[in-house]
Amino acid sequence: MESSSLKTRGEPLVILENIQKYYGDRLAVDNINFEVGRGEILGFLGPNGAGKTTTMRIIAGYMPPTNGQVLVAGINVLEKPVEAKKYIGYLPENPPLYTDMTVVSYLKFVAKLKKLPRKKIGERIEFVLEKCGLRDVKGRLIGNLSRGYKQRVGIAQAIIHDPDIIILDEPTVGLDPKQVIEIRNLIKEISKDKTVILSTHILSEVTRIANRVIIIANGKLVFAKYLDEIGNETERKFIVKFGNATDCQKAKDIFRSIPGTSIESENTKIRITSQTDVKKEILVKLIQNNITPEEIYEEKPSLEDIYIKVVAGSEGVEQTEQEKRNQG
């Protein structure tokens, strides 16, 4: 992974520098560095136990790192937590709700906790009720709401003080498909003028919402790219389509002579898999044998392909290191 992929394209609003977190002797977060820019939507991915939630808590100022520092809008979160938290709205995986309060009374309570000026509290409550689709349930007890509405209340408390940065830890976990779509649309809406850090296990959510992805595994940062940069992190696959099966079969036979490739065919389409760019070799073979394809293109890997590859690779390294320790 190139170090430049850890840098934001725009103005850095969140900067993590050499973040480590130990729980006793266990290293949960291992020397993580990256930036998040103003207006970015960052998909923060990784398997269970990878260190995602710990990292998000450190960014939000709810947990100190063992080593390193987090800067939010240039403010050291550990040194000036109250000042830094003015810029941050945080929704943990389990929303911090008081189920015996009504939606409005809870939001008023949160607004006071976050030290909103008294004259702005009513205005901000009206705003989040509208923005989060809570107006119809504003007088109901939170404990009587569906999980989807509770998530909406959790997001409302995270944005009520109009923060520049919104941190959402698994905001769609446990929701039914309809509720997932509703929360996804809500996140899109509130992220129009905000920086969002979104943790989720649903990779399709990231491709629909985020413009950048970071993956951690075993506490280490193993992948960081903007979605429009994703291309060749896995084996490269080239598709060649033909107008008839005869040309396809003929091409399949000649492509076998290209070193380091595997060939698959289906009807009039051939897929050529290689570790390198073999498009030039493909074209040369076709020209030499007077075969004209209908189409040639590179099949880009999906985020799921990349996730599986980098996480599996990281786990393999971890297992190897563990085996060495056991043998030692």
pLDDT (0 to 100) of residue 188: 87
Average model confidence (pLDDT) across the chain: 90
Residue 196 is predicted with a pLDDT of 95
Question: In the prediction, which pLDDT does 318 show?
Answer: 45
pLDDT tens for 78-130 read 999 999 999 999 999 888 999 999 999 999 999 999 999 999 999 999 999 99
**Position 163 confidence tier, pLDDT thresholds 50, 70, 90:** very high
| Residue extents of the structural domains in the chain | 3-229, 236-299
Q: What's the whole-model pTM score? A: 0.80
pLDDT in the model for residue 317: 45
Domain 3-229: state its class.
Answer: alpha beta
Residue 10 has pLDDT above 80, yes or no: yes
Note the CATH number of domain 236-299: 3.30.70.270
Residue 77 has pLDDT above 70, yes or no: yes
Give 143-154 pLDDT, tens digit per residue.
999 999 999 999
- Is 273 a residue whose pLDDT tops 90? yes
| Span 33-57, average pLDDT | 94
Partnered with residue 44 across adjacent β-strands are 199, 214
pLDDT at 322: 42
291-324 confidence digits (pLDDT tens):
999 999 988 878 888 899 888 877 654 443 443 3
